[in-house]
Amino acid sequence: MADPATYRPAPGAIPDSPGVYRFRDPGGRVIYVGKAKSLRQRLNSYFADFAGLHPRTQTMLTTAAGVDWTVVGTEVEALQLEYSWIKEFDPRFNVKYRDDKSYPYLAVTMGEEFPRVQVLRGAKRKGTRYFGPYSHAWAIRETVDLLLRVFPVRTCSAGVFRRAGQIGRPCLLGYIDKCSAPCVGRVTPEEHRALAEDFCDFMSGNTGRFIKRLEKAMREAAAVEEYERAARLRDDIQALQRALEKQTVVLGDDTDCDVIALAEDPLEAAVQVFYVRGGRIRGQRGWVVDKVEDATPGDLVEHFLLQMYGEAAIPREILVAALPPDVEALTELLSEQRGARVDLRVPQRGDKKSLMETVERNAKESLAQHKLRRASDLTTRSRALQEIAEALGLDQAPLRIECYDVSHIQGTDVVASMVVFEDGLVRKSEYRRFSIKQAEGDVASIHEVISRRFKRYLEERSATGELGAEPAPESATGDGRESEGADGPDSEGSDPRTGLPIDPDTGRPRKFAYPPNLVVVDGGPAQAAAAQRALDELGVDDVAVCGLAKRLEEVWLPGDDLPVILPRSSEGLYLLQRVRDEAHRFAIAYHRSKRSRAVKESALDEVPGLGPARRQALLRHFGSLKRLREAGVAEIREVPGIGPATAEAIVAALSGARDADREKAVND
């Protein structure tokens, strides 16, 4: 590892002007490319305070052995040079977008003598017109099957086309009139090319003239009593209309734009793009990126736009979820590449805002699916568990991991969660929730919940006879989801399927009798130390403990002054993060339900003279507490048994509870 001080540029050597810089490793390879409005300010920030930098940036600086730069005249030139260098050098510490799958396109090979309609993936070919991308190949084939009735363009391969010409007989599509059969000379090359151009025009959004032309021909055929031909034209019109229905109208007919949204977590980000042409969604595409550098949503959007539109066609409007830092320079660069003005903005209202929300939901789903695919791979899980064992100095891979998190609002309604991962997969049946009794801060809450869980563990082991006849510690209770301990030894032995001791009273495994290999707490050194102290007080010495701090994704071991830094691409860190995020989600869900229940109960409990029967009558009459809150005194008086004074007291109590909720929402 290199010391950044050894290659720091001399004072005054860095120019105070726009430019692009490159960090190189000892072998001379470019590992990071960046741009700056002021090279002096940007590069000095790397060398001013090493300890205050993000761990990802620290790793890049210690990997590098030198830095150089190039001065440019404007920020637009800096963007162009940054894109060129990233494309040329493929630096390992720059954000790299990769397809989360290979998306299919509908392609028309206009460069051939007899153009062919087909499904293509991968790199685009010269002389071929592309439509899409589509999410599924079958969606393309359904559309093509409908359009071939009206535009019978060739779809066969070169071999099939050549063989049909040799034998003088077309394929099946030629016999059922879904191909004009240019292979046997039914149409000339010029007539077939005209069909292909009409097909491309329809797919490009120029649909009205084709339907009008067919409707006119249908009326003319009916007028001269050619009813069979008129029926066929009617069916052709219906086929075109069904093809149009598959392309959802979302904006005005003259709207051409790309809608770009992203979803991210500390390690990865997913980007989704919807392509809108002629007001219709013509396709969508997705990317997933590993965040090997510290990047804001605006930075991710900027990197994405540079990579996506380096070679692709640029629409006149680009809607994004967050504006990039140098929006003016990026807009100017995109406008230069397009040869016309490009609008880059965040939609604020209306249909475009609604469409952006849809794309954002797709991005979140894409990221969730990516994580699920990654987590379900056996080899990846095994590598993650081994990396955790090596990083924490464990004797064996932690096959059972328990993670704990605390949730509250300003010390009220404090709850904790326990989630369980076995062999890298969730075990939701063993999740547990705790209502914290001594609300004295997160550290004290972690100590309490770990103490309660492992008191139950010792109690269960004592009940099975594993700890001899010593009295079990005082039983701990949660919210009703914790397994109750049993008195006396376990006469049933172990569950042959799970290996857990059996409770003779219930016939179910004693889940708290099975200890984890690793306890993870959401937090830094203080929370990790509190968990270790709780285990030490109970004499539990065979369970490892660590804390995962969310801000920098640092792993803290009890008693250590410095954290364990796992690589950003580490499968072990990914698994720890997933465990921590699941505990956080579970804790928040319980906290919200507890708050909701408390508000519902306390709001009506404060009304004098309102007993359980009348409370139930009120809720039954209005259906929910929300509707009751919206009701006035006259509406409440309609409930049998509620008089004027009681109705006014109910309105006053619910109004006070509503104000308290608003105050809590602000604090959230």
pLDDT tens sequence across 128-153: 888 766 655 665 677 777 778 778 88
Pairing of β 317-320 and β 257-264: parallel
Query: Mean pLDDT throughout 294-304?
Result: 82
Of 268, 438, 297, 454, which Cα lies nearest the Cα of 368? Answer: 268
CA dist 27 and 46 (Å) reads 21
Three-state SS sequence of 451-515: HHHHHHHHHHHHHCCCCCCCCCCCCCCCCCCCCCCCCCCCCCCECCCCCCEECCCCCCECHHHCC
Sign of the Cα pseudo-torsion (59, 62, 65, 67, in order): positive
Cis peptide before 516 (omega within 30 of 0): no
pLDDT tens sequence across 84-130: 788 777 787 777 665 544 557 788 888 888 899 888 876 667 888 88
| Helix ranges (DSSP H) in 350-475 | 350-375, 378-392, 442-463
Beta bridge partners of 266: none
Residue 260 burial (CB count, 10 A): 23
Pairing of β 400-409 and β 518-522: parallel
Query: Mean pLDDT throughout 369-398?
Result: 78
Q: First vs last Cα of the chain: how many Å apart?
A: 43
pLDDT tens sequence across 581-606: 888 888 888 777 776 655 555 566 66
pLDDT tens sequence across 320-358: 988 888 888 888 888 888 888 888 989 888 888 888 888
| pLDDT exceeds cutoff 70 at 242 | no
| pLDDT exceeds cutoff 60 at 498 | no
CA dist 315 and 54 (Å) reads 36
Q: What is the pLDDT of residue 627?
A: 76
Indicate the average pLDDT of the chain: 77
Q: What is the pLDDT of residue 98?
A: 55
Query: Mean pLDDT throughout 205-225?
Result: 78
| pLDDT exceeds cutoff 60 at 425 | yes
Report whether 97 contacts 271 (CB < 8 A).
Answer: yes
CA dist 658 and 662 (Å) reads 6
Count CA atoms closer than 13 A to 641's CA, side-chain side.
Answer: 11
Structure tokens at 115: 């153009």
The model's pTM: 0.46
Top-confidence residue, 345 or 376: 345
Which run of H or E residues covers position 399? none
Q: What is the pLDDT of residue 471?
A: 38
Q: What is the pLDDT of residue 270?
A: 86
Lowest-confidence segment of 29-33, 598-602, 643-647, 660-664 by average pLDDT: 660-664
Q: What is the pLDDT of residue 489?
A: 33
pLDDT tens sequence across 41-84: 888 888 877 777 776 778 788 888 888 888 887 777 888 788 77
Residue 443 burial (CB count, 10 A): 19
* Residue 181, amino acid: A
Query: What is the percent of the chain with per-residue pLDDT over 70, rounded to a whole number?
Result: 77
pLDDT tens sequence across 623-655: 766 777 778 888 888 888 788 888 888 787 777
| pLDDT exceeds cutoff 90 at 403 | yes
Top-confidence residue, 105 or 19: 19
Confidence band for 485, pLDDT divided at 50, 70 and 90: very low
Burial 381-414 (b: 16+ CB within 10 A, else e): bebbbbbbbebbebeebbebbbbbbbbbeeeebb
Confidence band for 205, pLDDT divided at 50, 70 and 90: low
Query: Mean pLDDT throughout 253-269?
Result: 80
Report whether 431 contacts 419 (CB < 8 A).
Answer: yes
Q: What is the pLDDT of residue 519?
A: 92
Q: What is the pLDDT of residue 402?
A: 92
Q: What is the pLDDT of residue 657?
A: 54
Lowest-confidence segment of 115-124, 243-252, 576-585 by average pLDDT: 243-252
Lowest-confidence segment of 476-490, 498-512, 555-569 by average pLDDT: 476-490
Return all residues near 281 (Cβ < 8 A) that are at least 6 apart. 247, 248, 250, 274, 275
Q: What share of the chain is helix, strand, coil (3-state, %, to 5)?
A: 45, 20, 35
Q: What is the pLDDT of residue 119?
A: 84
Q: What is the pLDDT of residue 251?
A: 61
Q: What is the pLDDT of residue 659?
A: 52
